[in-house]
Amino acid sequence: MSARLPEQVDVVIAGAGPAGTSLAASLLNKGVPSSRILVVERSTAPKPRNQSRALAIHARTLELLAAEIDDQDSPLTHTHARTDAQGNIQYGDAVGVSVDEPIERPCRSATHEIVRRGFLAMSMSMWERDMSKGKIMGVDMSGLPSRFRHVTSLGQIYTEEIIAARFETLGGQIHKGWSVEDVTVSRDEAEAQRPVTVTLTNEDGVEAKVKCCLIVGADGSHSVVREKAGIAFEGGRWNETFLNADVVVRDPAWPFSQASGERNGRRGGMNVVSEDGALMVIPLAGGGLRLAAVTGLEEIDRSIEDARRRSTKQTTSDVLVDDNQKQDRGGHLVETIDLGADKVQTVLDLLGPSVEADAETKEKPSDITKIVWTSAYHVAHRIASEMFKAEARTVVIGDACHTHSPMGGQGLNAGVTDALQLSQILAPAILNNNLASVKDYPRIEDDLSVWSVQRRKKVQAIAGRADAMHRAARMRGKWFNWIRISLFRLVGNFLGRKMAKVVAGFD
């Protein structure tokens, strides 16, 4: 925990998640001195690496990170992925490194560190439980207009650590253990250059006041910065339980080995649909599978509620709120729970690909042999009424600005994109002293207002697509499933090509 904070800076960034650190790293990479910004983070405890809800990093996000925060003189920044004869992606001269391999210091390319650790998924696909019927539709990433022709599957905690390492290499520091308590804006002409006063406290109760030109809230869905600015957070939440389970099954190649007609079965995530619902099966970096389902099943939901009551665990990013329910930074009611292998197995057997047990051993390739982590939550869908509030000199990005269904894996990507776009306005404004200039600031205010409107429209579209996928996943019944399968088989080829670009961020 940092004992002292500077008395004044140009910009205070509250929150050191992917959005906050991406913004900070991008500013320093553009030449902004580290003394001109302050990054504060409430939490001091290390986050468990195996407890990441967000996994997907899409091609456009990687391109932006490479352009905005990486060292352009480093050859690592420009490394290309390639496909071998078996259809496996190789990055650079090797398939990759262990997910827990130490980050290279100094960190010249965050993008290189992310991609070489992740599972590089070349496609996503939809299947019936009886996979012998063939793929319903596929989303092939190999034709993307990018050198990152894949979805990178890597836990958010790893991504945060890597971006933070790049920020530190650039000379930045994250001041941990400091919480924003209040934000005020002075109308006194004597304070016109830095009219914002941010009041912070640390874990020892020490108070600090920092003067700045602008504050950026990247402090999660329960953003104090957003609240102090009076920015509304509009929306609600779904009622169904969303279950995540990271597991190891008996056959490491399952269920991708059942993917008939695929050049290489283990190429990417699967969405398995049935009259009972839908189950996403996603390969994890380092091995194992992420199972993700909108359960809506009374037996499983009751089991989850029972597990919640038994559980005494809480993730380091959970926040206790007024209704005594735990919520993550994305605003989802969430618990890290010990659900038990039998209940997760029930979900997998009910919603996952059909598989026969061995006649003699009674074992199945889908038998769960290890539970790494389980979590259950209700999904929030909210968007801030504005991303920049001029009179409050406040910008909100990431989960402080928008939360939506995890379907499509867009949350982390949207937050990082918010940050990197914002840096393109703030960096020259700081370097040219426009933020602290009474004469020049109105022009910067206009630029931020235009960006706020345009970016919010984009975020609304992203959230709308995610929520549409969530609605499809939550619907059940024989006839609905027949219609869903028939429709996707009919338009799958066209839709798959379009979805590849949309999901990757090229829309």
Per-residue pLDDT tens digits for 125-142: 999 999 989 899 999 888
Alpha helix ranges (H) inside 100-208:
110-117, 156-169
Per the model's pLDDT, the better-predicted residue between 23 and 96 turns out to be 23
- Calpha distance 494→507 (Å, rounded): 15
Over 80: is that where the pLDDT of 348 sits? yes
Q: Which amino acid is present at 279?
A: L
Q: Is 271 helix (H, G, I), strand (E, B) or coil?
A: strand
pLDDT higher than 50, residue 334: no
Q: Of 71-85, 229-243, 278-292, 336-350, which one has max mean pLDDT?
A: 278-292
Task: Read off the pTM.
Answer: 0.90
- Tell me what pLDDT residue 297 has: 55
The segment(s) of the chain belonging to CATH 3.50.50.60 are 11-45+168-236+382-469
Six-digit token pair at 160?
């945060």
**Percent over 70 (pLDDT), the chain:** 86
Whether pLDDT at 365 is above 60: yes
Please name the residue that has the structure tokens 């299947």: 127
User: What's the chain's average pLDDT?
Assistant: 86
Alpha-carbon torsion angle 282, 501, 145, 167, nearest 10: -60
- Spatial CB neighbours of 261, under 8 Å, sequence gap ≥ 6: 134, 135
pLDDT digits over 11-57, tens only? 999 999 999 999 999 999 999 999 999 999 999 988 777 777 788 99
Buried b (16+ CB within 10 A) or exposed e, 387-404: bbbeebbbbbbbbbbbbb
Q: Which residues pair with 40 in a beta bridge?
A: 14, 175
Q: What angle do CA 323, 371, 310 make, to 5 degrees?
A: 35
Q: Is the peptide bond before 33 cis (omega within 30 degrees of 0)?
A: no
Q: How is residue 285 written in tokens?
A: 């970096």
Tell which wins on pLDDT, 187 or 304.
Answer: 187
Residue 301 burial (CB count, 10 A): 15
* Cα(254)–Cα(259) distance, integer angstroms: 9
Q: What is the Cα–Cα distance from 209 to 202, expressed in whole angstroms?
A: 12
CATH value of 11-45+168-236+382-469 in 3.50.50.60, 3.30.70.1900, 3.40.50.300, 3.40.50.720: 3.50.50.60
Q: How confident is the model at residue 417 (pLDDT cuts 50, 70, 90)?
A: very high
Distance CA 201, CA 236 (A): 31
Tens of pLDDT, residue by residue over 317-329, are: 332 222 323 444 4
For 253, residues 6+ apart whose C-beta sits below 8 A from its C-beta are 265, 266, 365
Structure tokens at 85: 């004869």
